[in-house]
Amino acid sequence: MFKTRNELLEIKDIKFDKEIYPRTSYNWMTALSYKNAMVVGDEFPPITVALYEGDYVLIDGKHRIEGVKLKKEKYIRAEILRGLNKQEMYLEAVKRNLRHGSQLSVQDRAKIMIRLQEFGYDIPKMSNFLRIPPKQIQAFKVGKITSTITGKEIPLKQEFKHYAGEVVPDNIDSIQEGFRSISPINLITELNTLISNRHINIKDKKVVEGLRILYKLLGKYKAIRKDEITITGENNGN
């Protein structure tokens, strides 16, 4: 691997590859805070890209890019890496995103562990690379990773962590994409607070329609004991 001097790149020419970039999503609040800091004159380090088969592939700096886009600017300064294959690009992206910027999410770390395992990393080597004690890695894998029907290992977001250790449908990974990795109990508590205190904006048609859908869906659940819930339907005799 060798670097070139920093260059000014047009943002539209920078490729975001999910197989290379280790973050499953970006935090818009972080991007907004970066944008505000840029507006008042704060300087940020260049993003990092790798030149691969003619494309500038993002290695580090998603939030900085989004911050610049919020400023309605089209260009950003970038450090360009050359001579890396795809595995080396991924490992470099992980190292850089571990060192600085927003903390990697639980799902990000689980996804990284799966990829490292595919690269032949055992737990000691994984521990050294991620700077996490081996025992924590083993416990993390048990609690945050599950397998699909076809045997593919996938990381679980907060809303789906109760599936850890179970075999799940292959589409569970795509279903998770729309979730923000927030504890379900927190979501339910917040909604209960809004409803009980009459803070729901009933003038918003989309909110009202969403509540109607929620009301119908809740009708599928039937409490069978104080601390147990089951879903009613044709297959369970209800």
Confidence band for 161, pLDDT divided at 50, 70 and 90: confident
Neighbour-count burial of 67, counting CB atoms closer than 10 A to its CB (0-12 exposed, 13-18 middle, 19+ buried) = buried
Q: For the chain, what are the domain ranges?
A: 1-102, 105-181, 211-238
Q: Which residue has the higher pLDDT, 79 or 216?
A: 79
Confidence band for 224, pLDDT divided at 50, 70 and 90: very low
User: H or E element: which one contains 146?
Assistant: strand 145-148
Q: What is the largest CA-CA distance in the chain?
A: 68
In which residue are the tokens 């999503």 written? 25
Share of the chain above pLDDT 90, in %: 42
Alpha-carbon distance 21 to 43, whole Å? 23
| Residue 236: pLDDT over 50 | no
Residue 71 per-residue DSSP state: T
Contact 47, 77 (CB under 8 A): yes
Which CATH topology does 1-102 take? 3.90.1530
User: pTM of the entire structure?
Assistant: 0.67
Which region among 35-39, 44-48, 217-221 has the lowest average model confidence (pLDDT)? Answer: 217-221
CA Rg value for the chain:
22
- Taking Cα atoms as reference points, which of 5, 6, 8 lies closest to residue 73? 8
